[in-house]
Amino acid sequence: MSDEPTIKQLYEKTIPSVVSVYVTDPSGDERRRGGAGSGFVYDDRHVVTNHHVVGDTDYVELRFHGGEWRTGAVVGTDPYTDLAVVDVTDLPDDAEPLPVAEGNPEPGDRVAAIGNPMGLDGTITVGYVSGTNRSNPTGTGFAIPETIQTDAAVNPGNSGGPLLTLDGTVVGVNRAKGGDNIGFAVSPVIVRRVVPALVEDGVFRPAYLNVRTVDVSPTVAEANHLDEATGVLVVDVGRESAAVLRGCDRVTRVRGREVPIGGDVVVGVDGDTIRSTEELTSYLLTATDPGDEVDLTVRRDGEEFTESVTLGERPEPGSRPRRGREGGERRRGSGRRDRRRGPGRRGPSGGHPDDGDIPIR
């Protein structure tokens, strides 16, 4: 007989630590509530949820599985990773912190999502990790890298709740439904990177290379006379990278599609191979800080060389100029989150580089 915990045992073990998150109606009418989502106990006084669940509010109402209500203060949010932290000074005695995995799960791992879908408190759904290393849009102009894909049912109201392995370890913060049998969750490596900063400082300051890129697909490789389809093509360059990198200066048509040409191709950073924008974004988010210097391996005009770039800090959502202009400086706050609302549309990013969707790193 297997010693693996059952779904029932997982539920009984973790449900006291999963909460329903309610946002008071913006009109101030206490008889009505605004949005609702989910969250989980992160440490002895903090609950983690999604940025798009709490929005711009300063306080939320939390309902625990035992029926207890608490009011929590939103002490930090990050729209770029769609994470938020709520401070609760008097957690119920049985609301134990849920451990967050140190690494990402693998496709095929069995998982369960617990939360408040459609306002139905304490709901558990079960499935598998369907994929990893996905990019998920946030409506900020940046995508969340390393997102976990699952076939466990994730519906409105599940957002902010935990995606768990059978031993009760958090391997994702649920945030989006992409379609039938496709849900997404912020990965544990992103959670472990961002949440401590939100707890300590109220903000997370991601590094910013300030370039627009597309993956080097076969079409992009053909248009740019490249030997292989790998790396990322630099389309536009902002201030942080202008002295080092060269962007595209024209477009050509390949099989009826306009393709940018003439820019550098980044194929490595700090000795790690870069095959896609997903890998570049993931490295910058998880391994670097503003002010760090990174070594980029670049291919230009058939030559390969390494150049150093000092990273900046991402601008506030909505403040980044349009394509072709320099990125603006983000205003620095002190101890309080960015007050701009988070995600717009949700679902898998998946934009093929030929679709004209040019991400910025």
pLDDT digits (tens, 9 = 90+) for 27-56: 555 544 557 899 999 999 999 999 999 998
Q: What is the mean pLDDT of residues 280-288?
A: 95
Q: What is the mean pLDDT of residues 2-20?
A: 93
pLDDT of 126 higher than 70: yes
Taking alpha carbons only, the member of 267, 284, 187 closest to residue 230 is: 267
Report the 10 Å Cβ neighbour count for 301: 8
Compute the C-alpha angle 157/162/166, nearest 5°.
Answer: 130
pLDDT of 356 higher than 50: no
| pLDDT-based confidence at residue 349 (cuts at 50, 70, 90) | very low
Residue 40: the pLDDT is 98
Residue 24: the pLDDT is 75
Active-site position among 38, 78, 82, 276: 82
| pLDDT-based confidence at residue 180 (cuts at 50, 70, 90) | confident
Q: What are phi and psi of 108, to 5 degrees?
A: 100, -15
Which residues have a Cβ under 8 Å from the Cβ of 72 and sit 6 or more positions away? 47, 59, 60, 61, 62, 86, 87, 88
pLDDT of 222 higher than 80: yes
Active site (annotated) includes residue 52: yes
**Which range has the worst mean pLDDT, 151-155, 181-185, 239-243, 292-296?**
239-243
Residue 313: the pLDDT is 92
In DSSP terms, 173 is beta-bridged to 162, 186
Active-site position among 17, 135, 159, 187: 159
Q: What is the Cα–Cα distance from 207 to 294, expressed in whole angstroms?
A: 11
**DSSP characters over 332-356:** P-SSS---S----S-S-----GGGT
Q: Kindly report, residue by residue over 151-168, the tens digit of the pLDDT.
A: 999 999 999 999 999 999
pLDDT of 218 higher than 80: yes
Q: What is the Cα–Cα distance from 95 to 97, expressed in whole angstroms?
A: 7
Helix (H/G/I), strand (E/B), else coil: 148? strand
Active site (annotated) includes residue 82: yes
Q: What is the mean pLDDT of residues 230-246?
A: 91
Residue 312: the pLDDT is 93
Q: Given the structure tokens 């625990």, which residue do they identify?
A: 64
Active-site position among 52, 236, 338, 354: 52
pLDDT higher at 220 or 239: 220
Residue 45: the pLDDT is 96
pLDDT higher at 187 or 318: 187
Residue 26: the pLDDT is 56
pLDDT higher at 118 or 341: 118
